[in-house]
Each structure stands twice: as C-alpha cells, then as structure tokens.
Structure 1
C-alpha cells in the first residue's frame, strides 16, 4: 500500500512539473530580462514581443555586443504564442 501511495505521488509530481513548465513557457517575458548565452536582440525581440529593445535600453551602445548576464528592460506589446 505504501509503495502504491509513493508511486502515485511521484507520477503526480511529474505531471504537475509539466503543467507548471507549460505555464512558464506561455507567459510573456518579464519586464526585467537577463540575456542568456547565444541570444541576440532579434531572438529576444521575437521571444518577448518587444521590437524597441534598443530604444528602451540606452545602456546598449552596440546592438551586436550582447553578452550573457546583461540586464535589459522589456515592454511586451503582445504575449508570446506557440
């Protein structure tokens, strides 16, 4: 009986993780965004729905000089859709 309860809770936990992951994936980007490895302004703009990232972030002097850990402001005009 105990094994059955443990097995059920493990399966329920993985299902909840999948639902939680889907909810995070479907939400628009946060207002404060931290650039990840391999991202460009174009990919972030597409992902977050903000075509004016450079204009809203005067600390970005060269749009080609993006690096992981750079913090930028995002103003999403529309939520992402998959």
Structure 2
C-alpha cells in the first residue's frame, strides 16, 4: 500500500498538470480569437447574418441569397456560367446553396471597389 505522502504528491502533480492544461487551452483560444480578428481587419471576409460579405470568386462558387447568374457573371467576370455548368437546366432557376463552376475571363474587381 502506498504511503500517505506518495498519494498526496501524486494528487499534487495531477492537480498541477490539469491546471497547466487548462491555462494552455485558454491561451490557445485567445490567440486564435486575436488572429481571426486581425485577419478580418486585414481584408478577410466579414460574416453578417450567416452570409459572407465580399466573397472571392473561386473556381467553385456557392450561390448566395438574392444572387442571379447575371450578378454572379458580372461580379466574377465569367460570361459562360451556363455553358460550363450542365447541371443548370434553367438559368432562371438559381437558388442559394447551388454550387457552380466559375472560370473568370477578365480580372476580378476588388471588393473595396464595389462601393
């Protein structure tokens, strides 16, 4: 059977280790929060109402609320969206969440130039 001093020492080490882990976790969360805020201030996408504002026109694009193929074409510089997306049978039937392929044919406007 272990002595009382050994048990107390073991409990003290375990208690110290758990406090150390808790402090490390809090520091990591704070660092992550600060980095996310700094990224957003440096031109990262802001989120408002569940939608990304100033989304880039990546090769794979997810249609947002209120967008049409025409507005996406103007925004991303791709006049051939319908031709490159055979799953779009009706250009007027575009809905939020629809995934489309974008191939810009002209340079994109920067998000800051939209205002």
Whether the TM-score (by the shorter chain) exceeds 0.5 is: yes
Structure 2 distance, partners of 1:32, 1:65, is 18
Structure 2 distance, partners of 1:28, 1:69, is 16
Name the count of aligned residue pairs: 72
CA gap 1:19/1:33 in 2 versus in 1, 3 angstroms = same
Q: Summarize the alignment of residues 27-66 of structure 1 with structure 2, pairs less than 5 Å apart.
A: 29-66=57-94
For the pair shown, the structure with the greater C-alpha radius of gyration is 2
Taking structure 1 as the reference length, the TM-score comes to 0.70
RMSD value, Cα: 2.8
Could you list the runs of 5+ residues in structure 1 that have no partner in the other structure? 1-12
Structure 2 distance, partners of 1:17, 1:75, is 26
Report 1 or 2 for greater relative contact order, CA contacts < 8 Å, sequence distance ≥ 6: 1
Could you list the runs of 5+ residues in structure 2 that have no partner in the other structure? 1-35, 46-53
Structure 1 segments, 4+ long, off by >4 Å, are 13-16
Taking structure 2 as the reference length, the TM-score comes to 0.51
**SS of equivalent to 1:72:** strand
2:42 to 6, 12, 19: 19
